[in-house]
Every structure is written in structure tokens, then in C-alpha cells.
Structure 1
Amino acid sequence: MTPLWIAIALLLLPALWLLVAPMRGSRVLRDQLHHFEANDTSAEQNVAIFRRRLASLEAARERGDIDDARFAEDRLELERSLLEDTAVQTKRPLKTATAGRIVVPLVMIAVVGASTFWYQQHGAEGDLTLYAIQQELRSDPDSSLEMYLERMEAEAERQPNNPNVWSALFPLYRETGQPDKADNALERLIAIEGRIPPLLAQLAQLRFFMAGRELTPDVQSLVDETLEQDPRQPTVLGMLGVYAFDNGDYEAAIDRWRRALANIEDSNTASSLREGIRVAQERLGITPEIADVDAAQSQGVRVTVSLDQTLVDNVEDGATVFITARDMEGELPPLAVVRGQVSELPMTVVLDDTAAMSPEAQISQVREVRLMVRVSPSGQATPQPGDLFGDLESVSVGPISEDDAATVIIDRIFE
């Protein structure tokens, strides 16, 4: 942690220098102010102006241009103006150049103290400590999982409210065969992060295996809470597939594992689920090759496409219709593409892995897609001005149902 505090100190130095900088020129500034005030003749100039105006006023009275009453009134106004002009010239004595210097070190101490306190409250000092422990043990040839666990338990006592500590301890306890401690670590993590689906799913899975792969009331309650927030949560779906498989309900196991497979990112877990599906298919007497095709088609989106009546005259029946599914972030190639013709509209198609353009970008890899439909009179894949299009955001990917289809209306012209 020493390099961190050195870096913080280096960052504070410019701020402290800015606090001290005005004091370096304080003596020069005071001398300039003193010289200005010593040579200031504005008061004498105001008095001279007053005397000239008063002389003019008296001459006017002697000539008979004004009477005594008007003279007295105008003279009073001149005197009042002189008082106002000279009053603002009254200055307080200049303080010494060293006056108030004691405040600067106090402010500097306050800045350093406030910065340190803020970092301790909101900074990542604890996470940096965890990283340092990991790096230290990786570089130590004599390190072991038990040593790592011991160090992390010590950090848990030192930083009980750091979620990264408990998220590290939970798998360590699980891998070392300490399910009760793993359960406690996960409970602590949920208390800090909230009852979010991924954590609830892991807790349900842990207690499921602790209960001998049984859906106890406690496990079922966690499952219900998780699926209520996220019906596609893969950890829970995978666990439910295991329960169905153990009870001989192979069709339910296949269905749940397929749904979990569509929303999982870890390749090892995905391989385990595919193997489980294969074994369940064999138990049902289904040829795995045929089942694999069915599985590929089971996850996707059914789409009904129609053309807005106001645009019917803008396109010919032979124009090409591109129906595309893309990831919500737009970072991947098109996940699925189906072609058709305007003469087929309205039409219903299925976008699944069989319509993928690349094995690396398939619709079963995501949970939601954006549907984009474009009518191209030229048949080109690149959008052209005058093409018609329509789209639909945030369409869920899941088991394809005959009764459930997303609707996209082609209702705009591409400029």
C-alpha cells in the first residue's frame, strides 16, 4: 500500500502548492498597495473641484442669476456630494504581509485530512489489498489454497463490509468442502449487495446440494424468488434440470437445461449442460443428432412481419425482405438473418441458430435481441436510400412457441 499513499501524496502536492502560492507574493502586493495609498491624490482633487463649483455658484449669486434660497440649496448639494466622495476614500490601515499565515497550514492539514478520510470511505483500498494478496501468493512457490483461504478470512475480519471479500471466500469454502461456511459467506454477500437473482440462484444451488439434491421448502422459496425476478436465470434452471433428471423426468430436464444453455456464458458449464442433455436424450431413446437440431431450433424468436398499408405502393412484390436479429449493444455480427419477398407479407418466420451467419454469433447466446426488418428493392444487403424498414427493441429469446410471436411492422423509409 505504500506506493498508493505515495501516489496520493503526489496528487495532493499541486493542491497544497496552490494554497501556499498567494503567500509568496503577499509582501510585494502589500508594498504596491501602500505606495498607491501614499500617492493617492483623489481627495485633494475632489476638494479642488468643490471649491471651483462653489466659486461659480457665488459668482452667479452676485450677478443676480440665482437668489439666496437657490444658492443655499445648491451649496448644500455640493457639500453633500463632497462628503460622499471623500467618505469612500477612508481606508483601513494595511495589515502586515505575514498576517493570517497561520490559517494556511490549518487549511492544508484540513485538505489532507479530508482527502484521506474520503478515500478511506469511498476508495478501493480494500480491493487493492485483496489484489496484493493474490499477487503475493501467485508469486510464492510454496503458496496453497489453504494459505489463500487463511489470508482472505483475515481480510474478512478487517473489512467485513467489502463484498469482494465474501465473493472470494464463497467459492473457496465450496471448493474446500465447507458448505456451511460457504452458505454464511453467500448470506453476507447478499446482505451487502441485495437479493439479486445471481446471488439468490447460487444460494439456492448450494442449499440444494447440501440437502442431497432435494427441493426443500427453503430451496423452493429461493427458486421462486429468483425466477420471479429473472425467469431465465441459468443457475436455477440448471439446478431444476438436475432435480428433474434425478426423478426420471428427462423431458423436463432437457427443457430446463436448454433454457439454461441459451443464457449461459461459461463454456465449461455449457459443455456440461450439453452432455446432460445428450444423456437425457439417450434415456428417452432420442437420437442425439436429431435432438441437437431440435435443440438448435428450440431457442430463438418467432417473428410476424407485415407492411404498413400506407407504404404498399412504394415497393414491388419482388423486392427482398431482410429479417435480422441483432444483439442489443450492436457489438456482434447479425445473430440470425432470414430472407423473403414482399409478395409473402405478412409472413411469420423463426430466427434461431440455424439462421446464424457465423458460429461465433448465434441468437442462443443472448437473452434479448433487436429485430430489424428492411425491404430492399435492389436486393442489396447494405441499406440504401429509399429502402423501407421497421424494428422492434428488447425481444426476449427463449423456447419457440407456436402461439407466441413478436410483431414487426415495416412503416418507415430509409433516408
Structure 2
Amino acid sequence: MTPLWIAIALLLLPALWLLIAPMRSARTLSDQLHHFEANDTSAEQNVAIFKRRLASLEAAYERGDIDEARFAEDRLELERSLLEDTVIQTKRPLKAATSGKLVVPLVMVSVVVASVFWYQQHGAEGDLTLYAIQQEVRNDPDGSLAMYLERMEAETERQPNNPNVWSLLFPLYRDSGQPEKAAAALERLMEIDGRTPPLLAQLTQLRFFMAERELTPEVQALVDETLEQDPRQPTVLGVLGIYAFDNGDYEVAIDRWRRASANIEDSNTAASLRDGIRVAQQRLGIEPETADVAAAQSPGVRVKVSLDDALVGSVDDDATVFITARDREGELPPLAVVRAQVSELPITVVLDDAAAMSPQAQISQVRDVRLMVRVSPSGQATPQPGDLFGDLENVSVGPISEDEAANVVIDRIFE
């Protein structure tokens, strides 16, 4: 860790220099202030200005430009102004140029202490230690998994609240055949980072295999907790598929694995799930899915579009209907678009990758979409005043079911 502290020291040097820099010009500034006060002639200048104005006022009086009352009033005003400008004000004596020098070292020490304390609380020193351990074990000729585990277990005493310690220990315990310790590491990680669906799913899977692929009450509770937060969590759906397959419920297994494969990013895992689906189909005595059939199971949304009764007759039957799926944040181009006509309403369509406008923006890339339906009498892709529209937020993307469809009603007018 010596290089780290050297780097921190180098970063602190400019800050400490900025604290010292004003002291270097303190003597010059003090001399300038003393010189200014010693040669201050503002009082004499104010008197000279008073005399010129008074002479001008008397000349005006003698010429008859002003009367005696006005002369007396203006003279009194000049005298008051002179009194205000020349009144003697007690000035505080200037402090010595060396005044406050002792405060600077105290401030410098405070900056260093505060910086080090903040880094220890919020910095990544612990993570750097973990990285150093990995490198040491990897470069050690006698390095082994046991040595790495021993070093990491020692870090749990030094860094009990560092989530990265437990996230590294979990797979080490799991892969070394220590499931109880792996589960304990996951539970400790959830105490720090919260009971998030990905962590709950890993614990569910671990407990499921520890229970010899049985849905014990503990495992079922974890399944319920995970799916309550994320109904499409692929790891848990995969577990449910395995349980159904083991119990001969192949149709349920196929359904769970299809839902899991639609939401999983790892291609190898997705391929394994598809293999499982084909085996389950063979057990059912049906023709296993080919690649084309599997592609047909790609994620998407079935949408039923209808026109509100109040707007029926307000638009021609040949007006164009744009049925669009967009990401919730609106950052991507339209993910899928289908065109129809008002005469076809109500209509049910499928929005999937086949309806994508660009390979870089497909509906399979997201988990939720916003459905937008617009009726354009002009047939233009850009919304125009007078267009009819309807929308539906937070629609889940997944395997397309013949029995389920998101209902979007065209019930508003674009202004």
C-alpha cells in the first residue's frame, strides 16, 4: 500500500502549497498598507474641494443668481458635507505581517488528517488490498485456492463491511464444495447491499441444490421473495423449471425455461435452457423445437389495439395506425413498429424483433416498454395536431403468449 500513500501525499502537496502561498506575499502587502495610511491626503483634498465649491457659491450670490436664504442653505449643506468627509475616524492598527502564521500549520495538519480520514471511510483502499491479494497469490509459485481462501477469510476480519470481500468469497466457497459457507457469504452480502433479486436468486439456487433439488419451505420462501420483486428473474425461473422437470411436469418446465431464456444475457446458459426445453418436449412425445421455432419464441409483446367509442367516426377508415414500442426512458429509437389502418381496428399484433426498425434497437434488448399507438390521417410518421393516440406504460417484454395481450385504447387527440 506504500505507492497508494505516496500518491495521496503527492495529491495533497498542491493543496498545502495553496495554503502557504499567501504567506509569501504577506510582507509586501503589509508594507503597501502602511505606506498608504502614512501618505493618506484625503482630508486635505476634501478641504480643497470645499473651498472651491464655497468660492463658486459666493460668486453666484454676488452676481445675484441666488438670494440670501438660498446662499445660507447651500453653504450649510457644504459645511455639513465637509464635516462628514473630514471627521476623524479611529482606525484599527494594522497587524504585523507575521500575524496568524501559527494558524497555517494547524490548517495544513487538519487538511491532511481530514483527507486521510475521508479516504479511509469512503475510499477504495480495501478493494486495492483485495486486488493485491489476488496478484500475490497468482504470482506465488506455491499459490493455490486454499491460500487464496485463507487470505480472503482474513480480510473478513479486517473489512467486515466491504461487500466485495463477500462477493469474492461466495463463488470461492461454492466452487470448492463448501455450500454452507457460500450461503453464509451471500447472506452477509445481502445484509450490506440489500436483498436484491440477483442476490436472492443466487441464494435460492444454492439452497435448492443443497436441498437435493427440492422446493423446501426455505427455498419456496426465497422463490416467492425473488419473484415478488422481479417476476422474470431468470435464475429462479430456471430453478422452477428444473424442479418441474424432475417431477415429470414437462409442460411447466418448458414454460419456465422459455421465460428464463427470454430474459437471460449469457448465451451459453440460454443454449443450455433451450437444450432442456428440447429434452422436455421429447419426453412429452412432441417434435423438439428447431432453431426457427426457437426464434419464434423470441421476446416480444402481444398488443390489442382498439378505438374509444367516443372517437369512432372522427377519422377515416383508411387513416394510418402506428403501433410502436419504445424503451421506458425514451433514449433509443423505436424498438418495434407495426402499421395498420383504422378499418382494421380492433386489431391484435405482435411487436418483436421482426418488427424492429434497426438491429441496434430491438425489443429483446429491454425488459419493459412503453406502448404508443397513433392514428395519423395524413399517414406521416411525425405526430401532427389532430392525430389520435393512446399509450400504455411499463409493459413487460417476454415470451409471446396466445392468451395474453396488452390492451391499448386510442382515446385522446394530439394537440
What is the TM-score normalised by the length of structure 1?
Answer: 0.80
Question: Take 1:361 and 1:84, find their aligned partners in 2: how far apart are those partners?
Answer: 76
- RMSD over aligned CA atoms reads 4.0
Query: Higher mean Cα deviation, 19-28 or 124-133?
Result: 124-133
- 1:155 aligns to what? 155
Q: Which residue of 2 aligns with 1:189?
A: 189
Letter in 2 for 1:119: Y
Choose 239-248 or 140-149, whichever is displaced more: 140-149
Corresponding residue for residue 410 of structure 2: 409
2 CA distance for matches of 1:378 and 1:48? 85
| C-alpha distance after superposition, 1:100-158 (max 9, x if no partner) | 10110110111111111111111122223323444555566764433433332232222
Residue matched to 2:62? none
Change (3 A) 1:87 1:216: farther
Cα distance between partner residues in 1 of 2:378 and 2:146: 67
SS for the counterpart of 1:272 is helix
The aligned residue for residue 349 of structure 1 is: 349
Stretches of structure 1 that go unaligned for 5 or more consecutive residues are 54-64, 67-73
Q: Deviation per CA, 1:45-82: give whole Å up to 9, x if none.
A: 778999999xxxxxxxxxxx99xxxxxxx9xxx89995
Alignment of 1:22-33 (within 5 A): 22-33=22-33
Letter aligned with residue 257 of structure 2: W
Name the counterpart of 2:325.
Answer: 325
When residues 338 and 287 of structure 1 are mapped into structure 2, their CA distance, relative to the original with a 3 A threshold, is: farther
For residues 279 and 107 of structure 1, the distance between their equivalents in structure 2, rounded to whole angstroms, comes to: 73
- In terms of mean alpha carbon deviation, does 236-245 or 44-53 score higher? 44-53
Contact 2:304/2:348 (8 A) holds in 1 = yes
CA contact 1:303–1:408 (8 Å) conserved in 2 = no
Larger CA deviation: 301-310 vs 229-238: 301-310
The answer for the alignment partner of 2:270 in structure 1 is: 270
Q: Aligned residue for 1:128? A: 128
**Cα separation, 2, equivalents of 1:248 and 1:352:** 32
- How do 1:272-287 residues align onto structure 2 when only pairs under 5 Å count? 272-287=272-287
What's the counterpart of residue 58 of structure 1?
none
Q: Secondary structure at the match of 1:288?
A: coil
1:44 to partner: Cα distance: 6.2
**Equivalence for 2:13:** 13
Separation in 2 of the partners of 1:45 and 1:262?
89
Cα 1:169–1:122, aligned 2, differ >3 Å: closer, same or farther?
A: same
Are 1:257 and 2:235 counterparts?
A: no
1:87/1:219 Cα in 2 relative to 1: closer, same or farther (>3 Å)?
Answer: farther
Q: Which amino acid aligns with 1:212?
A: E
- How do 1:291-306 and structure 2 match up within 5 A? 293=293, 296-297=296-297, 299-306=299-306
Residue pairs, 1:56-71, within 5 angstroms: none
Gaps of 5+ in 2: 54-67, 70-75
Contact 1:395 1:406 in 2 (8 A): no
Percent of pairs with identical residues: 77
Q: CA separation in 2, counterparts of 1:128 and 1:408?
A: 55
Q: Secondary structure of 1:394's match?
A: strand
Residues paired across the two proteins, number: 398
Deviation of 1:296 (Å): 3.2
Q: Residue 60 of structure 1 aligns with which residue?
A: none
Aligned in 2, Cα 1:392/1:86: closer, same or farther, shift over 3 Å? Answer: same
Q: In the alignment, residue 109 of structure 2 is paired with which amino acid?
A: I
